[in-house]
Structure 1
Amino acid sequence: MLDGASILRRKIVYGWRSAHHQQQPCGIDLTLRRVLQSNAPAIIDFDNSRRKAAETTQLPFRSQDGPVTLAPGAYLAEFNEQVCIPLDVMGEIFTRSSLRRAGATLTAGVVDAGYSGALGAFLDVRNPKGIFPYKDAKLAQICIRMLEEKVTGYHGIHQSSSSTVGRDGPPAVPLDVET
């Protein structure tokens, strides 16, 4: 596994707010950019021919310096940080213990070798009184694991997306990132 300093040095994670505050022994803390709530169903299939992202609404922060109010329920958290994952590593996103202690958890998939773009996670608020995260709150940590060898890499529809809810990136092309 790569330590936080190596992740920053290799420029795998970018868009971070403060290297000093986000660098951890085993990864980089991810900070809250925005919270979205689904307001329509999504469609998922085998070959993406019928796939349709769920329509979402961005939930407002109370003020420029205030939190967003999250009642118990399901949300999508988008992070400020983006990634450019080399072909010899993969990423995993974990819930920070402070979020878990507040009564919420995050779930995210593997961040494939070769993926470049936005990061997000499913935010499940279980605290019966809700939670109040502020913009830029540290919610998760990305850890980077080495692979035995370089792989072909991610070629999916979300390559180069600036958001985790849609397909706004250019057509996927093979990524050959040298590290």
Structure 2
Amino acid sequence: MLLSKKEILEKIKEGMLVLNMIDPAVQIQQAGVDLTVGRIYTLKGEGALDFDNSKRKIPEYEVIEPANEKWVLEPGTYHAAMNETIKLPDNIAGLLLPRSSALTCGLEVHSALWDPGYEGRSFMHFSLKKKIELHKNARICQMIFFLLENTEEYRGSYTGEDIFKNMKRG
């Protein structure tokens, strides 16, 4: 079941779902919560993936500093650290989707399922078809939440994730 605004508000009052919002009255929508851009990165290193994560290598990223509180980005792929922190209880999963206004501007959001029990900083990837002016704290994506039955809490390697540990200032 997809959570409604009423259910999202109840969970947020309990200290769950999305923490550190800039303005909950603006960010909480009818069926999700808008997330805001805090930092932008480019991929600088190589990564590796395998079946059991024994050979997994997380690549290095380089921060792109905003000029006058905005980024002017050329077409390509970027990574964004959102201002908000995600805290999912053990019976709710999250999915990150683009806002329609972002799609209209040629910004495509790429994300994965956020497992029940996940807690950490929000980080997403996006691609641009055309040059864009992206202002700091822009709302570019929305997280929606699904209530699940009979689930186990997430205990993977991204629990308590600190997305900034592999980031280097440019």
Say if 2:89 is the partner of 1:96: no
Richer in strand (by share): 2
Richer in helix (by share): 2
SS at match of 2:49: coil
Q: What amino acid sits opposite 2:20 in the alignment? A: G
SS at match of 1:68: strand
Relative distance call for 1:97 and 1:8 in structure 2 (3 A) is same
Q: Give the Å deviation of 1:3.
A: 1.9
Q: Give the Å deviation of 1:165.
A: 7.1
Per-residue CA deviation, residues 73-113 of structure 1 (Å, 9 max, x unaligned), is 01111111111111111101100011111111101000101
1:15–1:80 CA contact under 8 A, matched in 2: yes
Q: Which residue of 2 aligns with 1:120?
A: 123
Say if 2:18 is the partner of 1:13: yes
Q: Which residue of 2 aligns with 1:55?
A: 60
Relative distance call for 1:5 and 1:82 in structure 2 (3 A) is farther
Distance 2:138 2:165 in 1: 20
SS at match of 2:26: helix
1:78–1:120 CA contact under 8 A, matched in 2: yes
User: What TM-score, normalized by structure 1, do the two folds share?
Assistant: 0.85
Residues paired across the two proteins, number: 161
* Higher RCO, 1 vs 2 (CA within 8 Å, ≥6 residues apart): 2
Q: What amino acid sits opposite 1:19 in the alignment? A: P
Aligned counterparts, 1:119-138, within 5 A? 119-127=122-130, 130-138=131-139
Per-residue CA deviation, residues 44-97 of structure 1 (Å, 9 max, x unaligned), is 11111111111110001003xx21121000111111111111111110110001
User: What TM-score, normalized by structure 2, do the two folds share?
Assistant: 0.89
Q: What amino acid sits opposite 1:110 in the alignment? A: L
Q: Which residue of 1 aligns with 2:160?
A: 160
Query: Any runs of at least 4 consecutive aligned residues in structure 1 with deviations exceeding 4 A, and if so which?
Result: none
SS at match of 1:154: coil
Distance 2:54 2:109 in 1: 28
Identity %: 27
Relative distance call for 1:89 and 1:139 in structure 2 (3 A) is same
